[in-house]
Amino acid sequence: MEKFTTLTGVAAPLNMINIDTDMIIPKQFLKTIKRTGLGKNLFAEMRYNEDGSEKPDFVLNQAAYRKAEILVADDNFGCGSSREHAPWALLDFGIRCVISTSFADIFYNNCFKNGILPITVSKEDLDKLMDDAERGANATLTVDLESQTITGPDGGEVTFELDDFKKECLLNGLDDVGLTLRKETVIDDFEAKLNADRPWVPGVATV
């Protein structure tokens, strides 16, 4: 998983509450188990007309936000069903950070497993960041995970809280597999001891 340290990028304003996972990636695109290729279908029902043409009013279809790396959204982002395809689609589009006043728990945790930083801020701070994001081509924010700060285009700074363990995982690019591999030596030693102590157990000697 790619490390998250400092991100400077265009922030897209998505001033809506209760953006659920079916809005993020509609159910008809859940047939794949690949983490790539979903970005083109991100927010599909809001981005496209029935004939496949783009809806010009949707924020990610506007020239200033086509390469946005940060989303600034309203309350309860990622609610609904617990589909991990939602962070996959965001990441494949290029979104590395989502800022909101609150997140659904499962979506929030899935973000960390996929290298996306979900940041929870106060309503007052969200209003400031939403205003920054609405500046179009000048809507650039800098997110520094180490210092836990968000810096706006005018130099204003917002701080945020984050669990130390989740922070360490993102800074070091550690998903569940990466965390397990940190214990690779311990696992190898355990398997060697198991082979030596219980060679009669079917399958143990070939582990």
The answer to whether residues 126 and 183 belong to one domain is no
pLDDT tens readout for residues 89-123: 999 999 999 999 999 999 999 999 999 999 999 99
Residues constituting the chain: 207
Q: What is the mean pLDDT of the chain?
A: 90
Q: Is the pLDDT of residue 38 over 90?
A: yes
Q: Which tokens belong to 104?
A: 């659904």
Among 69, 75, 81, 70, smallest CA distance to 24 is for: 81
**pLDDT band, very low/low/confident/very high, at 29 (cuts 50, 70, 90):** very high
The answer to whether residues 68 and 147 belong to one domain is yes
Domain boundary among 125, 140, 162: 162
The verdict on residue 167 lying in a domain is no
**Per-residue pLDDT averaged across 79-89, rounded?**
94
Strand 149-151 relative to strand 157-159, pairing = antiparallel
The verdict on residue 170 lying in a domain is no
Compute φ and ψ for 37, nearest 5 degrees. 95, -5
Q: Which tokens belong to 27?
A: 């159910």
The answer to whether residues 188 and 147 belong to one domain is no
pLDDT value at position 136? 85
Q: In Å, how far from its chain's centre is CA 12?
A: 14
Range of the domain at 183: 175-207
CA distances from 89 to 18, 23, 42, 79, 157 (A): 18, 11, 6, 15, 29
The verdict on residue 39 lying in a domain is yes
**Per-residue pLDDT averaged across 48-75, rounded?**
96
pLDDT tens readout for residues 134-190: 998 778 999 999 999 999 999 999 999 999 999 999 999 987 766 665 556 766 667
The answer to whether residues 136 and 201 belong to one domain is no
Q: What CATH number is given to the structural domain containing 88?
A: 3.20.19.10
pLDDT value at position 192? 65
Q: Would the pTM count as exceeding 0.95?
A: no
pLDDT value at position 190? 73
Contact in structure between 165 and 173 (CB atoms under 8 Å): no
The verdict on residue 130 lying in a domain is yes
Q: Is the pLDDT of residue 18 over 90?
A: yes
The verdict on residue 169 lying in a domain is no
Q: Is the pLDDT of residue 207 over 50?
A: no
pLDDT value at position 180? 62
The answer to whether residues 134 and 54 belong to one domain is yes
Q: Is the pLDDT of residue 48 over 90?
A: yes
The answer to whether residues 204 and 138 belong to one domain is no
**Per-residue pLDDT averaged across 44-55, rounded?**
96
CA torsion, points 34, 37, 43, 45, in degrees to nearest 10? -100
The answer to whether residues 179 and 148 belong to one domain is no
Encoded amino acid at 92, one letter: D
The verdict on residue 58 lying in a domain is yes
**pLDDT band, very low/low/confident/very high, at 33 (cuts 50, 70, 90):** confident
**Per-residue pLDDT averaged across 58-73, rounded?**
96
The verdict on residue 204 lying in a domain is yes
Q: Is the pLDDT of residue 200 over 90?
A: no
Place of tokens 């219980």: 198
* Count of structural domains within the chain: 2
